[in-house]
Structure 1
Amino acid sequence: MPDSISYNFNIRPILSDKCYKCHGPDASKRQAGLRLDKPESAFKALKDNPAAHVLVPGSPEMSELFRRISTNDTAEIMPPANSNLKRLTPHEVDLIKKWIKQGAKYEKHWAFVPPKLWPVPEVDNKEWPKNPIDNFILKKQEQYGIKPNPEADKEHLLKRVSLDLTGLPPSLEMQDRFLADKSPDAYGKVVDELMKSPAYGEKMALHWMDVARYADSHGYQDDNYRTQWPWRDWVIHAYNENLPYDKFISWQLAGDLMPDATKEQLLATGFNRNHKITEEGGVINEEYRVAYVTDRTNTFGKALLGVTMECAHCHDHKYDPFSQKEYYQLYSFFNSVKEPGLQATVGGPETYAKRPLMQITNADVKSILKFVNKKDTGKLIVSVMGDSEVYRKTYILKRGNYDAHGDEVQPGTPAAIMPFNNALPKNRLGLAKWLFDKRNPLTARVFVNQTWQELFGKGIVKSSGDFGMQGDLPSHPELLDWLAVDFMNHGWDMKRLVKQMVMSATYRQSAVLTKDKMKIDPDNTLLSRGPRYRLPAELVRDLVLASSGLLTKTIGGPSVNPYQPPGLWENATSGRGILASYKQVHGPDLYRRGMYTLIKRTVPPVEMAIFDASNRDQCEVKRLRTNTPLQALLMENDPTVLEAARVLAARLLKDNTQAKDKITKAFRLIIGRTPAEQELGILTAYYNDQLKTLNKKDAQKVLTVGEYPITPGVDEVLLAAMMKTVDTIYNLEEAITKT
């Protein structure tokens, strides 16, 4: 029982779960005219008994709420027996009783109150914390009588941080160097090395591609090609250069409106042109133009504010304090973009980007846009932002219908978050300034939470796209606030934030799950152990290619078409445009990182979809994570995995070592650690068994996969046996799991 009862963290979750069905924000289901989510209603006299009050501050016995939840009279108990809602537990009843005793104080929703720099807590175990993050985490663990795990061994820790910071497994050279380094700052040196790698920008950009709904096609039925990849090159560059988050976002929102805007700032605005665009003749122009503006508004709310603004598109938000009028005030910031609903139907290169657009010349690539990987001399155009010279009026759209104009509205922001300062320009640049006002309660919290999610598997707020009334409460609210304020106070430095997290003792813990922790902390909410979960789809591919030596490390450039089962595109296409049929690439492009696989929205890459990648139809701040038999079947049959096993096997056979040494090397390359004696024994026995059972004809059949050439004169039986052994290692659960 807390000393001080919080409405937000102790009481509202109970009311939402047990009471709001009949006494909440939904007017159509409300009973007795009573709302418990609004203090002005909860403190009023009862409609059918004016002498009684639901809440009497300081007096639980006089409060009808307490009397009804604590009675044993089945005619009066709340929730009613016929409501299909569970009765409040004794602990929940006690919480409400103590809350009423303490004054029954309602609070503004926690996420709409500006974060504050909470004092770093004192803890009993003063040896464990490595930075302030750990004090917040350990304080809560000590309250629950649980201890953190010891630090992971160096092999597991190196694999974890390498995958988190670069998306690639550590090389053997890095493994050997880190294991041999006995200095106290050995781990810190590795972290700095990884963060300086060009692959760092690629890994960090991967999450932002989901947020920004980046794809290589326009979407809808025709789903023709688009040339938006230079914007992706910019995102990678921005992360590697450690562009501060306020600039990173402000350029994407309003780079075209910056004073003396550069071409780089203009290119950054491609963020807001990544949405689906129709190329189908016969559509209603205004209907689709409104759809594009709606997409940008919804993306802004979810990606940057962590709220479900889209719920107010057709009516006032049912749960959060956002009116439909406020939705269209926010919408108006994006409503003057100089774009039609339909520009042109499917055609040649002139339709690969839609107005407003910018052309990237060879001179640009040699000067201000050096990070754009443009190899040919052809015309390269990208969709960017640009407002019309004439301001477009914005109206509330009745029930969200594009042609049902209601009252006119002016640019503005939800007052419950932070009213818009009218001294700011009423355009996207002003909106960016509003977003990064340090009094804004959401901006820093939302990004800090997404960063935490990418490193620990889930956010401090589990519902990372919903900080509103129906979202999850933060597991460590003071830590979230502390990180948010600290982030703002240090210049919105993204690399510093990431390093702060991976250097913590919390991050470095072993992922071992004991019986006690399974009982007390099954979901790892208390962070009493290290993260353990399957890699994202793109990183599964990256691990296979990197460990085999096949990976092409080129940064940026156009997306590519690797291996894909035949007929997928052809059976789901209008038959127009260059994406009507699938044209596989060859040579080095066949072995590019997963983030460069071309995404056609109507037929997303099958191997990515099986591992839960986004098809990029809309903004996504958190991927699902499933475990299905299809994933195991893919790892067993994907030509990329089989080819990688063959190529790595051929390289191992060149070593003048014994079979068990070759298998140990493969295991370290793929799993990131030295195999245990039992593991090595099983794999070596399997290899020897394959040598005995494979004949030359069977070996040739096994080896006929992938385009990478086989070294002439190689012993095919030997190669096939080693290939099958390596493939077995790729199919271990640990291979594609971050531990």
Structure 2
Amino acid sequence: MSGKYYYLWLIVALFVLYSVNACRSGSDNAEQMPETVSYNFNIRPILSDKCFKCHGPDATHREAGLRLDLPDSAFKALKDNPSAHALVPGNPLQSEVFRRVSTKDTAEQMPPASSNLKKLNPYEVSLIEKWIKQGAKYEKHWAFVPPKSYSIPQVKNTAWPKNQIDNFVLQKLEQNDIEPNPEADKERLLKRVALDLTGLPPSLQMMDGFLADKSPNAYEKIVDQLMASPQYGEKMTLHWLDVARYADSHGYQDDNYRSQWPWRDWVIHAFNENLPYDKFITWQLAGDQIPNATKEQLLATGFNRNHKITEEGGVIDEEYRVSYVTDRTNTFGKAMLGVTLECAHCHDHKYDPFSQKEYYEVFAFFNSVKEVGIESVVGGPETYAKKPLMQISNDDVKKILTFINKQDTDKLIVSIMTDSTKMRPTYILKRGNYDAHGVEVQPGTPASILPFTSDYPKNRLGLAEWLFNKKNPLAARVFVNQVWQEFFGKGIVKSSGDFGMQGDLPSHPELLDWLSVDFRDHGWNIKRLVKRIVMSATYRQSAVATPEKLKNDPDNTLLARGPRGRLPAEFVRDLVLASSGLLNRNIGGPSVNPYQPPGLWENATSGRGQLASYKQVHGPNLYRRGMYTLIKRTVPPASLGIFDASNRDQCEVKRLRTNTPLQALVMLNDPTVLESARVLAAKLLQESSQPKDKIVKAFRLIMCRHPQEKELAILTAYYQDELKSMKKIDAAKLLTVGEYPVPANLDKVRLAAMMKVVDAMYNLEEAITKT
């Protein structure tokens, strides 16, 4: 064969091979084509990504007068061509949408190249074609339809499920020919559930007891024990502090101290007492409007006063008062409805069916608070809370608010909610400007979620009743999803703050609905929901990710393996302190200032108020849990921020998760980590045991499992090497870190060598990772 024909043959062969592969690819997609194409789960995501920019809810950018998000608009004759229709149910060839997305003619192809949107791939075109053939049926957005209780799916592997959650998960795994992982070994499972339920590692006693317990319900006994501990309330509260944008300062330039911590004590108490979710939210939204409201219910309303408040002279009072109301409105939308309501502050929502009028109808519920935009400039204790406020006396703490950790006799005040006797009129604010009043509106809610009828009182208590109406599609779903996120690292709806049109679709919609209905119909019982999740086989799986599973499901969307991820910032600190024995387990009370690099506050402050300079605490308060670290909004705690803690400027229902070199530097250099390593090393050296046994104990305290022989050999050799190479002067310098006293009777070189071994363990990835 001549060279010319050889290359021609090669080109033909490659073309044929490409065509075969393309056909195979097409046939694979065809195999995945759903039997019934759903608008919500198959079509709307395509239209949202490729079409709604020009043919969606945003009237200012709409082309050709065509809206594809509404069936009436999509089915009617086209404005520019009355003889044509965007969609003709049952007939793709007469539907302009199908013709335009499938044509090769670039002059007619949609989306046009000028839009910078990617054109539809063959599978997406086929989905649209099949959807039109099946009638082009529109559906109300899935999240705005009340959840229903699905029947428990039947599965082939009937031995695997522990409860109903597993049937839903396993059904999808079996549909994708994926096997779930076996249950994690007892040591890793205990570490996981202890951290998830208390934010703290298990004690050696708990580890030994669980390993020795061979009874069928050994794991359930541990779960019950952990959920009964007061640390359970602390763990559950941390997420809610992000949601509630809790901080210890007012924000803005002066950023002075605020004494809102009694509200945090209440949240811990509420979770430990298992206050039903409907009451938990109702008290925070409208505790002051409950007939004969108790001081506890009034304190709960501090939720709505956690926003930033200015103390700076020269500001426009009404501008800032409106900003406070705006914050409360946006927080309600994100925290309790899981929607981006704030997008309708200046104009109708561009993607979700929320008008600007409806935004200000929700705004009206929060607009009559007896507050001003600027109450006073920076001063003494009288400014630590802003009116309306509540004083908490020592007598209150003894008799009523017994959960408050008040350790002194000073006057204690907290900001709460109280409305004026006369409702303040609410207007649509043109383009969101505080002084550009449009038409007046009355309290109400988005009709697309659930209309606000005359049956409800037109106040925040009525808003809470509306929220927990059985027909409300979002209240249960949103909270269940947030709780799921706490245990699996992401929600069943990944975009936990956006259940709207642009949010992610649920990975297991039937499971989310079933859990939501079950949660609602069993009295909004939070502990019951939590226990159901952690008792499931889905949760108890090994976190080992095989190459095949990483390839087929890299994000673990199908839940074929257990959850794995780095601990939240505050729990990184807690693990270090708890494993060393330094942790101060005192529940509640004022926030504290632990170690911090010098000069941070002083370089970012107006120089006025109690928080003008950083005053570090001493003694036991140095070793409090991370959630009690004082948060100054303009300069949040550096070591926590590096591990992605919220700065609490606004409501946050999901933290970012990053991996940066700065995190390694914190673990290597933070005084808390180094001091904990020193203290644990000293305790080990004071025990009459061999170095190898001491290292095993330290490993168990930090990693929560026994070391493998190879691991133990490496750590023991490291200790011996440090003993030989460590100089006394270097040892003495190393041991100066931290304020906790160094035992005088210990050999400094041995102590420094063991300290370095413990510090090495703290710096292993596994130490601060839930596996």
TM category, shorter: over 0.9
| Counterpart code for 2:352 | D
The structure 2 residue matched to 1:682, chosen from 700, 714, 728, is: 714
Do structure 1's residue 535 and structure 2's residue 567 form an aligned pair?
yes
Do structure 1's residue 89 and structure 2's residue 121 form an aligned pair?
yes
Residue 82 of structure 1: CA displacement?
A: 4.7
Residue 113 of structure 1: CA displacement?
A: 0.5
CA displacement 1:583-606 (0-9 Å, x = unmatched)? 000000000000000000000000
**Would the alpha carbon gap of residues 85 and 398 (structure 1) be closer, same or farther in structure 2, given more than 3 Å must change?**
closer
Report what 2:65 is aligned to. Answer: 33
Secondary structure class of the residue paired with 1:571: coil
Report what 2:320 is aligned to. Answer: 288
Secondary structure class of the residue paired with 2:444: coil
| Counterpart code for 1:376 | D
Do structure 1's residue 279 and structure 2's residue 303 form an aligned pair?
no
Matches within 5 A, 1:359-438: 359-438=391-470
TM-score by length of 1: 0.99
Report what 1:324 is aligned to. Answer: 356
Report what 1:490 is aligned to. Answer: 522
| Counterpart code for 1:484 | S
Report what 2:603 is aligned to. Answer: 571
CA displacement 1:694-720 (0-9 Å, x = unmatched)? 011110011110000011121000000
Report what 2:111 is aligned to. Answer: 79
CA distance in 1, matches of 2:174, 2:77: 43
Do structure 1's residue 617 and structure 2's residue 649 form an aligned pair?
yes
Q: Which moved more, 1:52-61 or 1:19-28?
A: 19-28
TM-score by length of 2: 0.95
Do structure 1's residue 244 and structure 2's residue 268 form an aligned pair?
no
Report what 1:714 is aligned to. Answer: 746
Report what 1:58 is aligned to. Answer: 90
CA distance in 1, matches of 2:329, 2:59: 27
| Counterpart code for 1:483 | L
CA distance in 2, matches of 1:722, 1:341: 56
| Counterpart code for 2:738 | G
Do structure 1's residue 142 and structure 2's residue 174 form an aligned pair?
yes
What stretches of structure 2 of length at least 5 have no aligned partner? Answer: 1-32
Do structure 1's residue 262 and structure 2's residue 262 form an aligned pair?
no
The structure 2 residue matched to 1:441, chosen from 473, 486, 489, is: 473
**Would the alpha carbon gap of residues 97 and 119 (structure 1) be closer, same or farther in structure 2, given more than 3 Å must change?**
same
Report what 1:15 is aligned to. Answer: 47
Secondary structure class of the residue paired with 1:460: coil
Residue 425 of structure 1: CA displacement?
A: 1.1
Do structure 1's residue 187 and structure 2's residue 226 form an aligned pair?
no
The structure 2 residue matched to 1:523, chosen from 555, 564, 575, is: 555
Matches within 5 A, 1:111-150: 111-150=143-182
Secondary structure class of the residue paired with 1:395: strand
**Would the alpha carbon gap of residues 486 and 570 (structure 1) be closer, same or farther in structure 2, given more than 3 Å must change?**
same
CA distance in 2, matches of 1:550, 1:625: 27
Report what 2:616 is aligned to. Answer: 584
CA distance in 2, matches of 1:207, 1:400: 30
Report what 1:228 is aligned to. Answer: 260
Report what 2:5 is aligned to. Answer: none
Matches within 5 A, 1:463-478: 463-478=495-510
Report what 1:555 is aligned to. Answer: 587
Residue 86 of structure 1: CA displacement?
A: 2.6
CA distance in 1, matches of 2:54, 2:461: 43
Residue 723 of structure 1: CA displacement?
A: 0.1
Report what 1:634 is aligned to. Answer: 666
Residue 81 of structure 1: CA displacement?
A: 4.3
Contact 2:57–2:349 at 8 Å: present in 1 too?
no
Report what 1:358 is aligned to. Answer: 390
**Would the alpha carbon gap of residues 412 and 58 (structure 1) be closer, same or farther in structure 2, given more than 3 Å must change?**
same
Q: Which moved more, 1:49-58 or 1:130-139?
A: 49-58
Secondary structure class of the residue paired with 1:407: strand
CA distance in 2, matches of 1:255, 1:48: 55
| Counterpart code for 1:56 | V
| Aligned residues between the structures | 739
| Counterpart code for 1:549 | G
CA distance in 2, matches of 1:580, 1:425: 45
Do structure 1's residue 479 and structure 2's residue 511 form an aligned pair?
yes
Secondary structure class of the residue paired with 1:54: coil
Matches within 5 A, 1:453-468: 453-468=485-500
CA distance in 1, matches of 2:57, 2:445: 22
Contact 2:58–2:349 at 8 Å: present in 1 too?
no
CA distance in 2, matches of 1:586, 1:716: 24
**Would the alpha carbon gap of residues 443 and 533 (structure 1) be closer, same or farther in structure 2, given more than 3 Å must change?**
same
| Counterpart code for 1:495 | K
Secondary structure class of the residue paired with 1:464: coil
Residue 269 of structure 1: CA displacement?
A: 0.5
Residue 280 of structure 1: CA displacement?
A: 0.6
Matches within 5 A, 1:602-613: 602-613=634-645
Residue 24 of structure 1: CA displacement?
A: 2.4
The structure 2 residue matched to 1:4, chosen from 36, 43, 68, is: 36
**Would the alpha carbon gap of residues 177 and 22 (structure 1) be closer, same or farther in structure 2, given more than 3 Å must change?**
same
| Counterpart code for 1:259 | P
| Counterpart code for 1:644 | S
Secondary structure class of the residue paired with 1:187: helix
CA distance in 2, matches of 1:251, 1:83: 48
What stretches of structure 1 of length at least 5 have no aligned partner? Answer: none
CA distance in 1, matches of 2:226, 2:678: 29
Secondary structure class of the residue paired with 1:317: coil
CA distance in 2, matches of 1:242, 1:82: 56
CA distance in 1, matches of 2:518, 2:125: 38
**Would the alpha carbon gap of residues 221 and 723 (structure 1) be closer, same or farther in structure 2, given more than 3 Å must change?**
same
CA distance in 2, matches of 1:195, 1:600: 31
Residue 421 of structure 1: CA displacement?
A: 2.1
